[in-house]
Amino acid sequence: MTVQLTDEKGLLPDGAGALIENAARAALEAEGIFGAYACVTVVNGEEIRALNKSTRGVDAETDVLSFPQIRYPAQKTARDVPQMLKKAYDPDFGLAFLGDIVLNIARAEKQADELGHSAARETAYLTAHAMFHLLGYDHMTDEDKRLMRAMEKRAMKALGLFKNGDRLMTHEDYIRLAEQALDRSYSPYSHFRVGACLVSESGKCFQGANFENASFGATICAERCAVSCAVVQGERRFTKIYIACDSGYAWPCGICRQVLNEFKAGDMEIWAGSPVTEWKMLTLSQLLPEGFGPEDVSRTAEG
């Protein structure tokens, strides 16, 4: 956990909670801080206006407010003050408490419209921005601003949702990532290279490639390689996978269909193609009709 989220009025759209968590974690990782959390409260325009007035004396609606728990010395950020982080340790969560973030989600959506990018991008950016305030960054002077922007850029890039930390990843970006993964394939025995790009429900993507073994049965396919990478990074629900080979199509083998079935979010889209072949899509239910999945195990247990 990186954020303790409160959304009493249910203002957050689907998937935004996971996005806020991921953006906050990306900010912490950019700073090199582990074992810390923040409270994020989602409010409407009126509420943030009242809070802005009572805490900062500014009678205006704003997008986000942050209230750091730690008083950082001048020119220092969280990574410079491990002792202060220790003092902020919260035994209830077993993490250091960095402070509170108050987010006006309607304003984020409106700003995204005005700036011509997605609401998801704006929400992630505001979360990361507020996290960096909790980590001791500010933008009062030009130099401070430059440092903070550089950190925000790093976090947005690490988030992996956006091309160049800016626009949302597209279908073409995922195809390119799958084709790029072909170069990582270790296939000295079959010489059949496969690359994959797996996309999670939160929009994060994970590359994979097949890697073979002198003991042939130890070989792992590109799809299962990508699923392994994603699962150990905390993702368990996937909406799409792109599977590239050098020419023609490499639809997933039986074992991989079964593994994808375990972690599917809805009816997963399976895309296959190559740098010289037109990409095609089939759904997982087409590739694995009447598949056996986690829900069947619990049904059996109940009798």
Judged by the rule CB under 5 A, the positions of this chain that interact with Zn ion are: 221, 253, 256
Comparing CB distances to Zn ion, the nearer of 70 and 221 is 221
CA distances from 153 to 23, 70, 124 (A): 11, 23, 11
CB of 253 to Zn ion, least distance (A): 3
Report the residue number whose CB is nearest to Zn ion: 221
CB of 252 to Zn ion, least distance (A): 5
DSSP 8-state assignment for residue 74: T
Comparing CB distances to Zn ion, the nearer of 98 and 287 is 287
CB neighbour list of residue 187: distance below 8 Å, 6 or more residues apart? 193, 194, 210, 211, 212
CB of 221 to Zn ion, least distance (A): 3
DSSP string, 30-48: HHT--SEEEEEEEE-HHHH
Beta carbons within 10 angstroms of residue 102's beta carbon: 22
Rounded distance between C-alpha atoms, residue 88 and residue 79, angstroms: 14
3-state SS class at 268:
strand
Sort 108 into a burial class: Cβ within 10 Å, 0-12 / 13-18 / 19+.
buried
CB of 225 to Zn ion, least distance (A): 9
CB of 71 to Zn ion, least distance (A): 54
CB of 144 to Zn ion, least distance (A): 50
Comparing CB distances to Zn ion, the nearer of 253 and 281 is 253
Comparing CB distances to Zn ion, the nearer of 221 and 268 is 221
Q: What are phi and psi of 8, to 5 degrees?
A: -60, -35
Comparing CB distances to Zn ion, the nearer of 1 and 253 is 253
Comparing CB distances to Zn ion, the nearer of 126 and 221 is 221
